[in-house]
Amino acid sequence: MSKINEYLAFSTENYINTQNLDEIFENTGNLYQSIVIIAKRANQIASELKNELHFKLEDMRKITDEIDEITESREQIELSKHYEKLAHPTLIATKEFLENRLEFRALQDSSN
């Protein structure tokens, strides 16, 4: 399953709503650490989606280059619309974090 379809199936809301900070705090015991974990996961998701989209669009470009068409194909437009329906990576990462779908570990402090 592609990452785009996987995140669409995850059914995250496409709008920002307020979050209960106590729930975010509970998973790690540190609000700032929780936010960093969510931010890093959001960056991973954005990178995965970007790479997949560019890979698929590049494949479509090769096909249209062979046909010598300069215009965008219908498939490219549909893929872009599909991608635009996704929730923002931060919303997906927050939902994953609150549902305990993320694995993370605390780094040991080396200054001791």
> Over the stretch 84-110, which tens digit does the pLDDT of each residue have?
888 889 999 999 999 999 988 876 665
Rounded-to-integer distance, Cα 11 and Cα 99, Å:
13
| Cα separation values, 29 from 21, 23, 33, 81, 94, Å | 11, 10, 8, 39, 16
Structure tokens at 5: 């379809």
Domain ranges of the chain: 3-98
The predicted pLDDT at position 16 comes to 80
The predicted pLDDT at position 9 comes to 75
48-63 pLDDT, tens digit each: 999 988 888 777 776 6
